[in-house]
Amino acid sequence: MHPFPPLPSVEVLSIQEALVVSRPTVAGNATIIVSTMQAFRVDDTEGRKVYEQSGALMDHFTALDPALASQLACYENGQPVQSFANLLK
């Protein structure tokens, strides 16, 4: 038996893969996302996929702590936008 515990898996994702990443992938692995800063540094977020709602990310936003949800970009009804940018927060 080895004296050190096993290391978690490492998952390397492109920004396109990260836009649809599953909750188990993030929870069970160390996750590295490869992207350019230009994907996030914009004044106008219109048309930027990282800021758009994605149904594939819905599971990440279920049962959020209200204090955490209040720090995210939200719709007018107060529900967090299910976006990759919010997922990173």
Confidence of residue 74 (pLDDT cuts 50, 70, 90): very high
**Which of 49, 6, 11 is closest to 31 using CA atoms?**
11
pLDDT > 70? residue 1: no
DSSP secondary structure letters along 14-77: EHHHHTT--HHHHHHEEEEEE--GGGT--S--TT-GGGS--GGGGGGGTT--HHHHTTS-B-TT
pLDDT > 80? residue 89: yes
CA distance 11 to 77: 34
More confident position, 73 or 45? 73
Please, are residues 84 and 49 in contact by the beta-carbon 8 Å criterion? yes
Please, are residues 29 and 11 in contact by the beta-carbon 8 Å criterion? yes
Q: What is the pTM (predicted TM-score) of this model?
A: 0.78
- Scan for tokens 């540094």, then name that residue: 41
CA-only gyration radius of the chain, Å = 15
Give pLDDT tens digits for 14-68: 999 999 999 999 988 899 999 988 877 777 777 788 889 999 999 999 988 989 9
